[in-house]
Amino acid sequence: MQRITPILFCIFGAPAYAEEDKKINVSGQIDLVSKYISRGLTNNPEDDNLAVQLTLNAGYENFYIGYWGSTLDYSFPEFEGHKRKRKDQFEHDFILGYNKKFGDWNWNVWSATYYYSGGKHTTSNELGLTLNRDLTDKTQLTTSVSTYLYDVAYANQGDTFMTLQLDHQLNDRLQARVKTTASYFQDHGKYEGKELGNTEKNLAFRYASLGLNYEFYKNFKVSGEYIFGGYDRYDDKQRNLGIVGLTYQF
């Protein structure tokens, strides 16, 4: 699940649209990243090779819809004993959200559906709230919380992910980012002790990261992120890891 790397979560961090803006706003980006790391799980990347990722957004007034997709180096049918097929090695995320500004804060309520071709018990839904505000003209604070609404093979209903992020514009081309995250894991569910395994840790520090992105040409950015690994639901310590990426925005 795109569950956040995206670095680059331009969908979940979508800007609030002004109420007076009556036109449809369309945007997107294509990313090439050295590895696709989902929510700090550096020991088991979603794609351990070069990953290709696509983001599409359309917004009208305060509402928006989005799509995010990424290549994977595995498929869920493989785990069920079927032959690997390239078409199944892809993640599709469909997002619906609403933005509104209250005082100094932008509120973003969103619902994301995660779909994996060919998988059984793998289509999930996550409900989230993202808040962000400007601290200065160059610094922005973002925090978010999201939770799974029902049991699937990789998550229990009520599994909750939390983030705190600080972005600072160093100059007109270079931006720095600091992020820290945590999770609350439920230890009961339909697939607990089965496909999901046994949850050993309820409250976990997931990861922290330091990142930079640089716009070297109009609409083109290069980025780097160093991840300080935390723990997963099985209490396994994740390794530290650096990743790099190239982004084209349109």
Structure tokens at 199: 């949850």
Whether 17 is covered by a domain: the verdict is no
Scan for tokens 């310590």, then name that residue.
237
Q: Rounded mean pLDDT of 210-234?
A: 98
Q: What are the φ and ψ backbone dihedral angles of 185, each rounded to 5 degrees?
A: -105, 130
Q: What is the pLDDT of residue 87?
A: 87
Amino acid identity, position 99: N
pLDDT at 215 over 80: yes
Q: Which residues pair with 119 in a beta bridge?
A: none
Report how far apart, in Å, the C-alpha atoms of 3 and of each of 44, 145, 181 are.
14, 12, 12
Residue 16 lies in a domain: no
Does 4 reside within a domain?
Answer: no
Structural domain contains residue 10: no
Residue 213 has pLDDT above 90, yes or no: yes
pLDDT number for residue 15: 45
Residue 2 domain flag: no
Share of the chain above pLDDT 90, in %: 85
In a domain, 3, yes or no: no
Encode pLDDT of 152-207 as tens digits: 999 999 999 999 999 999 999 999 999 999 999 999 999 999 999 999 999 999 99
* Residue 14 domain flag: no
Q: What is the CATH number of the domain that holds 238?
A: 2.40.160.40
Which residue segment(s) compose the domain that 64 sits in? 24-249
Would 19 be classed as within a structural domain? Answer: no
Asked if 111 contacts 124 with a C-beta cutoff of 8 angstroms, the reply is no
Q: Structural domain tally of the chain?
A: 1
